Structure 1
Amino acid sequence: NFEESPEINNLSVFVRNGNKQHLQWGKNTTITGGYIELCESGSSVTIGQECMIGWHISIVATDFHSVLDRKTGQILNGPGNVVIGDNCWLGHGVRLLKNAKLPNNTIVGAETIVTKAFTEEWTALGGNPAKIIKRDVTWNRSIPTEYKKSS
C-alpha cells in the first residue's frame, strides 16, 4: 500500500517464497535508491509518513535461510518485520534487518546497521550494530545553508 505523494527512485522490491507479505509506504515519504526484501510468508515492512530515505538502503525482513537447533532440528529463526516510524531520516547505505524498529523522529547515520527495536524518539542512531549516539535531535529536508536563510 502506498499513500499519497511518494517519491520513489531506483527502488527494487523483492517478494518471493511465501504469501501474505506486506509493504506499507507512508504519505510524503521519499527514497533515493535501494532495495526491500520480503522473502518469507507473513513478513512485512512498514514505512511511516514524511520520511526521507537516502541512497543504497537495504531493508530485509528475513534471514533468507533456516538456522536450526543441531540436536532437535527445530527452526530457531522465523520471519520478522521492519517498522520505520513517521518523520525518520535514513542516511546513505543504512541497513535495516529483520525485527528492526525505528520510532517516530529518528535519524539514522550513514552505513548504520539496525538489528533490533528502538523505542526512544528524537534520537540519532549510528554504528554497527546501531546504538543511540545523540538525543533530543530533529531534522529538516533543507540543506544547512538554505535552512539557515529561512529561519
Structure 2
Amino acid sequence: MDFIAFIYNLIHKNNTWKYYQHIIAKGAFLKNVKFSITGKNNKIVIGRKARLRDCKIKIYGNNCLLKIGDGSTIISNASFWLQDDNCKIIIGNNFTMEGGHIASTEGETITIGNDCMFSNDIEIRNGDSHSIIKANTDERLNWAESVTIGNHVWLTAHVRVLKGSCIANNSIIANSSIVTNQLNVPNAIYGGMPAKMLKTNIDWDRDRYKYHQ
C-alpha cells in the first residue's frame, strides 16, 4: 500500500518534495494537493489510506501542526490554513469533507473527532483574522478561542463553526447554520443563526439505503 501510494503521488501534481522535512504522508494518496509552508518546526501528518484531492495547505508561523487521520478519510476541494505560532488542526480517523475552509490562528486549536462527515462549503475558524477594538482605545475584544468538534458529527452544507464553539458527539448541524457557542448535548440536531437545539435522541448513518419506511 505504501509503495502504491508513493507511485500515485509521483504521478499526480503535488509539491511535497519541496517541503519534505515538514510532511509525513506515508501511505496517503494525494492528488493536486498544494503546500505552502513558511516558518520553523512545522509538521503536517496525513494518515495511511487517507485521500486528499484538490486541496491547499498553508502554514505561516512556527511550531504549527496539521494532523489528518487515516482509514476511510476522503477530503476534496478543501483548504487548511494555520497562521501564527503554535496553531493546531487535529482531525480524527475516517473523516470526509466535500469542500470548505478550516483556519487556525493565534496559537489556538481546532479539534475534530473520528468518523465525522462534512458536506460542501464548510467553514471552521477559531479566530476573526483581524482585530476588533473598543472605540478610542487599544483594547482588543475578539481574541481567538479553540474549537472542538466531537466524534461522529455531521456538518451539512454551508455550515459555519466560529471561535469558541463546541459540538457534542453524534450531532447533526442543519444546512446553512452558524455555530457560535457550546452545543453540549450529544445525539441532537442543531440549526439556525446562531444554532440551537432542534431535536434530541437522534443518530445518523452515511448509508441511506439500508433503512425503510
TM-score, normalised by the number of residues in structure 1: 0.90
**Equivalent of 2:94 in 28, 31, 37:** 28
* 1:15 Cα offset (Å): 2.0
Q: Provide the residue aligned with 1:15 in structure 2.
A: 82
Pairs within 5 Å for 1:45-124: 45-124=110-189
5+ residue gaps, structure 2, are 1-66
2:29 is matched with none
SS at match of 1:35: strand
Distance 1:55 1:30 in 2: 10
1:33-63 alpha-carbon deviations (Å, 9 max, x no partner): 111112x321211110011110110011111
Counterpart-to-counterpart distance in 2, 1:21 and 1:43? 5
Alignment-mate amino acid for residue 131 of structure 2:
S
Higher mean displacement: 1-10 or 88-97: 1-10
- Tell me the distance in 2 between the aligned counterparts of 1:119 and 1:148: 28
Q: Give CA-to-partner distance per residue, 1:51-99, whole Å, 9 cap, x none.
A: 1110110011111211212354211121111111001111011110111
Per-residue Cα deviation, 1:97-150 (whole angstroms, up to 9, x for no partner): 11111011111111010011111111000111100010111000012xx1226x
Question: What stretches of structure 1 of length at least 5 have no aligned partner?
Answer: none
Distance between the aligned counterparts of 2:156 and 2:106, measured in 1?
29
Aligned 8 A contact 2:82 2:88 in 1: no
RMSD: 1.3
Runs of 4+ in 1 over 4 A off after TM superposition: none
Bigger Rg, structure 1 or 2: 2
8 A contact 2:106–2:127 mirrored in 1: no
Identity within the alignment, % = 32
